Structure 1
């Protein structure tokens, strides 16, 4: 270990999901961080992008963030690390990011640098072979173990890497690393562990940096934060002039999203934050001590994410302003369901109504005693094997709201319910088929590491 302190700048909690703010990034660059790191993926976006092997974020926004980071990193000769490329970390998204980096290097006449990248996509045959050999692929979050039927229903699978591919790339002198699907915190923990800092603090550093300015207050997304690690502590500082990393904002971020707020499962083990201590180091900086990383004993488990296509989807939108229809919206939707069922006999379809505005909040078809909103917006989703069938489901579901027959109504009540007269094309519907873990003998077993050169 040569450094007593390591500084990492993170500009965005999800690279490209919305453009990173250049002002706070420039302030972070002035701190001369040792690494520029950012996570670019999430399963929060749902199973569709993975199933369709597509991005959830606009290409131009991803190029913007990569360009901003690459130019700063190469100017200061600091490594740059990206994880879960292109929202999903599939092989094609990794290739896309590698091409972007190469093109940017040419565009800006950058000196040659070593580019590393790894793949996370997993063929079905690899899991089938493990299952045939008697390996149980256990489900997470109360899912049953993986079956051949669910495997067959899966369109695409990615394995979630830990710190190991990043550390191996750094060992081999990589200047820029583009990662496939990986644990969010691994992007930041890996360089800290590689540089000789304790895993306990390194994984916490990853946890606090992974969402960038979400750990700061007041709320402001897509702003840069600077994390610093020593042998004794982690410090995190907000770069935006009007934000600060307070005890409340940092501790709150560390404990969100989990039934047990003191534990975070990360690739390779468990981050125990029970005994974390938070103190206000200065006006904009919070200091953290006390996290404990508990590595998992053999076997090493790798998380798997799989997506499978359900069917084609079309979407309708209906606005309801008639007070009586609003009061009886559950009956209106039930009538619309009956009309779709009558028209779609023998077809394996799905019809979903999402109601916005039930007393100011989003609701579903759960009955409410009284609805006081003056207007409802109903989003209708029709899913079926073919596009034509999905359009029929969505169209009938939408117009069924307009033509609903309420037994107490005499005359035309529907004239007060306004609807669009055509449905909208949407991406195909997918579902998560796989949220499982597979045992491996080597943490690198499922991840292919490659090297290339970029620049002139």
Structure 2
């Protein structure tokens, strides 16, 4: 093929998109539908727990439209990082939704699944290097992870497509690999392919109205052209070029498992009011193929309490009140529970004052109201909750040192303490050297929908 049209309907499966934009993409001759199904943006919980961020109903709604489109046009549908974090359970979850829809709709599409979860015992420590700012990896950290995934490039997806898959459901994958796989399989140049894949990864994010739906990238031997799927939306040279700033360390280059996208000499030209032409991108193959590893582990158990403050006297010296609250929680917990600082942690966030910027908040004027959120973390849930309960009277009635009465603050919920369960932290930001791009991934080749 001398050109491939990649339809990306949305930045993440389950986020929704106008159905008519996908119809428009098919009318424009889309050759493949590619959509990302996950992210680490929402923190380590989803990887650590192996659960999805998105609602099953929202994912199913998107899948229904995309499976119908793929079947109508006779083109592949590729979904990466299934179930938010790309764990095996995430792939199985999306696969179950897909198979249910295929059966209900009577669609005859062959589904391949690719699993990216890793066993700590199978990973060679001597071939794993840290990615900044991570430190060297030790066996204890590796084995402490509840889930580990390897971030695949395009190669496992291509293997599934070449085996006859109509639908590819991949575990953790680079956002770009999902869109790059089909055009690379069709032997288009890697430079334009990878750059186009980076630009379309978030759907309409590279347009002037990201809420209007996704985009279509037409990739050829010299470059690519990108246009919105909504006729009233636009791409501009600035909106397209700016997406290289998104989630990258360097806006002119980005590492993939197989090499590096380089766009320092790329040009962006407006073909008209809606479309942008990009040329001059290149891809530099790496001497060593690497797979990024992501892992999360339980860091403790959390209990949350939230109270609201409207008393102007307290708000006039909110820093003093917060410092006193922290001090008295420590004293009361030591006296009543016999716990020291090393037995638990508290995090007090003053929403409406400095909860977002904390110490670098430039505006220190007294706020009109504050929501004080107390997060307690301990090695077990009962301890975290016990600390939060000890703090309860303080969060309800604590005065400032110069007040001669007890104020009444407002808890947001009853009971005031909400047990959040296990809290997780990312502990793997490393890359492992591999001899084969597909070695770490288990590819389950297509099965007919009537099997």
Question: What TM-score does the superposition give when structure 2 sets the normalisation length?
Answer: 0.93
Which of 175, 179, 192 is matched with 2:170 structurally?
179
1:419 equivalenced with 2:415 (yes/no): no
Is the 8 Å Cα contact of residues 332 and 401 (structure 1) preserved in structure 2?
A: no
1:297 equivalenced with 2:287 (yes/no): yes
1:83 equivalenced with 2:80 (yes/no): yes
Number of the residue aligned with 2:193: 202
Q: For residues 43 and 367 of structure 1, do their structure 2 counterparts lie closer, same or farther at Cα, with a shift above 3 Å needed?
A: closer
Which piece of structure 1 moves more, 336-345 or 307-316? 336-345
Is the 8 Å Cα contact of residues 308 and 433 (structure 1) preserved in structure 2?
A: yes
Number of the residue aligned with 1:11: 9
- Secondary structure at 2:301's aligned position in 1? strand
Structure 2 portions without partners, runs of 5+: none
How far did residue 259 of structure 1 move?
A: 4.0
How far did residue 153 of structure 1 move?
A: 2.1
Structure 1 portions without partners, runs of 5+: none
What are the Cα deviations for residues 127-154 of structure 1, in whole angstroms up to 9, with x where unaligned?
2xx22xxx14221122111112211321
Number of the residue aligned with 2:375: 381
1:170 equivalenced with 2:148 (yes/no): no
Is the 8 Å Cα contact of residues 160 and 446 (structure 2) preserved in structure 1?
A: no
- Cα distance in 2, alignment partners of residues 259 and 38 from structure 1: 23
1:352 equivalenced with 2:347 (yes/no): yes
Q: For residues 86 and 367 of structure 1, do their structure 2 counterparts lie closer, same or farther at Cα, with a shift above 3 Å needed?
A: closer
What are the Cα deviations for residues 301-324 of structure 1, in whole angstroms up to 9, with x where unaligned?
110000000122222222222223
- Secondary structure at 2:290's aligned position in 1? strand
Q: For residues 372 and 202 of structure 1, do their structure 2 counterparts lie closer, same or farther at Cα, with a shift above 3 Å needed?
A: same
Q: For residues 243 and 424 of structure 1, do their structure 2 counterparts lie closer, same or farther at Cα, with a shift above 3 Å needed?
A: farther
- Cα distance in 1, alignment partners of residues 8 and 107 from structure 2: 22
- Secondary structure at 1:69's aligned position in 2? helix
Which of 121, 128, 132 is matched with 1:125 structurally?
121
- Cα distance in 1, alignment partners of residues 27 and 41 from structure 2: 32
What are the Cα deviations for residues 160-214 of structure 1, in whole angstroms up to 9, with x where unaligned?
0001101111222211111010111000111111011101111111101110001
What are the Cα deviations for residues 251-297 of structure 1, in whole angstroms up to 9, with x where unaligned?
11122233432222222222112111111112211111111211211
Q: For residues 23 and 349 of structure 1, do their structure 2 counterparts lie closer, same or farther at Cα, with a shift above 3 Å needed?
A: farther
Q: For residues 109 and 367 of structure 1, do their structure 2 counterparts lie closer, same or farther at Cα, with a shift above 3 Å needed?
A: closer
Which of 278, 281, 296 is matched with 1:288 structurally?
278
| Matched length | 442
Is the 8 Å Cα contact of residues 237 and 244 (structure 1) preserved in structure 2?
A: yes
**What is the 5 A alignment of 1:235-384?**
235-298=225-288, 300-342=289-331, 343=333, 345-346=339-340, 348-358=343-353, 362-364=356-358, 370-384=364-378
Number of the residue aligned with 1:45: 42
What are the Cα deviations for residues 313-372 of structure 1, in whole angstroms up to 9, with x where unaligned?
22222222222322322222222222332315146322112222228x833366867324
- Cα distance in 1, alignment partners of residues 392 and 448 from structure 2: 52
Q: For residues 442 and 245 of structure 1, do their structure 2 counterparts lie closer, same or farther at Cα, with a shift above 3 Å needed?
A: same
Question: What TM-score does the superposition give when structure 1 sets the normalisation length?
Answer: 0.92
- Secondary structure at 1:213's aligned position in 2? helix
Number of the residue aligned with 1:441: 435
- Secondary structure at 1:46's aligned position in 2? coil
- Cα distance in 2, alignment partners of residues 79 and 218 from structure 1: 27
**What is the 5 A alignment of 1:29-108?**
29-108=26-105
Number of the residue aligned with 1:225: 215
